[in-house]
Amino acid sequence: MTDAQNTPIITPVAPEPHGTRIILMRHGQTDWNIDHRFQGGTDIPLNDTGRDQVRTAIDALKQARDEGTVVDLVLSSPLSRAAESAEIVAEGLNVPYRGAVAGFQERSFGELEGQIATRELVLASRESGEEYGVEPTEEFVARGLAALNRVRREYDGKTVLVATHGMFIALMMNALLGERPDCLTEEGFYPIPVNASLTEVPLQYLDSTIDRLLVHHKEPELGAEEVPAGAENTSLTLIRHGQTDWNKANLMQGVTDIPLNDTGREQARTTGRKLAEMGLDFTVLVSSPLSR
């Protein structure tokens, strides 16, 4: 790849003519980048070189703007090196920075964070990462795809720049381009981009990738389980959440965290009243982690 100073927006696959566009920018350089340390979830700030790299990326974005790619807003990972990169770009382009989005943070490398990324430790992180507390690839990719899907839906029709991280970009692109091996290296991987480089997400593959990697999976063969001791007379009542705006618009929600709307809240209150009228006695209430 070229130096950040000369890197345009990399588009392995031409974007669709209409609809949401997401451009991922790797944050600028940090001192740990210089030392080749595992950063992961450790909150290491930009250094002065990193800030200059990001300012230079603004020139590429302004050139893209002149050619028709106009960034409407900027988001970021919650980590400060990405958030500061986003703030610099937003100010340089005179567009709003809408804050950090959970899900765009770098992969956690557990006990390896802070250590020099030697060839031996890199291999260990891939082959036996669980021993070091490295975030599993499947979980990392799942949260990244969910974050991309959330931004695509929330900012429908907009061009969004997201300041994020090298491993995040590489693994998301690797997942999205998995059915397009011509866009990957000979080894079948998407390379980790240089600091402050720009990569456009091929959103036309997002739905099929979510379906391929997150929906269609092998379930274990389920059989009848023994009832736990003391639970022979336990009853369980399942209640579906109330209406959301995405329910109303017939959109697939899945793991995207869409809140209840006012109608949904009133539906939930009505259900509570009905359960009380039925005289049911509940010992405990629990819920799914999603806010609705």
Checking if the pLDDT of 3 tops 50, the result is no
- Shared domain check, 144 and 57: yes
pLDDT at 4: 45
Residues 205 and 260 in one domain: no
Residues 190, 252: one domain?
no
pLDDT at 178: 86
CA separation, residue 50 to residues 33, 54, 59, 124, 289 (Å): 10, 6, 15, 29, 37
223 within a domain of the structure (yes/no): no
Q: Are residues 173 and 248 in the same domain?
A: no
Please check whether residues 94 and 192 belong to one and the same domain: yes
146 and 285 inside one domain: no
pLDDT above 70: residue 224:
no
Q: Indicate if 10 and 141 belong to the same structural domain.
A: yes
Whether 184 and 85 map to the same domain: the answer is yes
Weakest-pLDDT range from 59-73, 117-131, 183-197, 259-273: 183-197
Residues 120, 245: one domain?
no
Q: Chain-wide mean pLDDT for the chain?
A: 89
pLDDT band at 216 (very low <50, low <70, confident <90, very high): low
Name which of 20-29, 176-185, 235-244 the model is least confident about: 176-185
DSSP 8-state symbol, 215: I
> Per-residue confidence at 2, pLDDT binned at 50, 70, 90?
very low
Is residue 62 domain-shared with residue 102, that is, in the same domain? Answer: yes
Q: Is residue 221 part of a domain?
A: no
Q: State the Cα–Cα distance between residues 213 and 176, nearest whole angstrom.
A: 10
Q: Is the pTM of this model over 0.85?
A: no
Inside any domain, residue 226: no
Boundaries of domain holding 253? 233-292
Q: What is the CATH number of the domain that holds 73?
A: 3.40.50.1240
**What mean pLDDT is predicted for residues 257-280?**
88
Tell me whether residue 220 is in a domain: no
Q: Tell which wins on pLDDT, 140 or 221.
A: 140
Has residue 219 got a pLDDT over 60? Answer: no
What's the helix, strand, coil split of the chain in %, to 5? 40, 10, 50
Same domain, 189 and 260: no
Cα–Cα distance, 239 to 274 (Å, whole number): 12
Which runs of E-coded beta strand occur in the chain? 9-10, 21-26, 73-76, 97-100, 159-164, 198-200
- Same domain (yes/no): 117, 159: yes
Task: Kindly state the helix (H) or strand (E) to which residue 152 belongs, with its residue range.
Answer: helix 137-154
Q: How many domains does the chain have?
A: 2
Q: Which of 173, 188, 215 is where one domain is finished?
A: 215
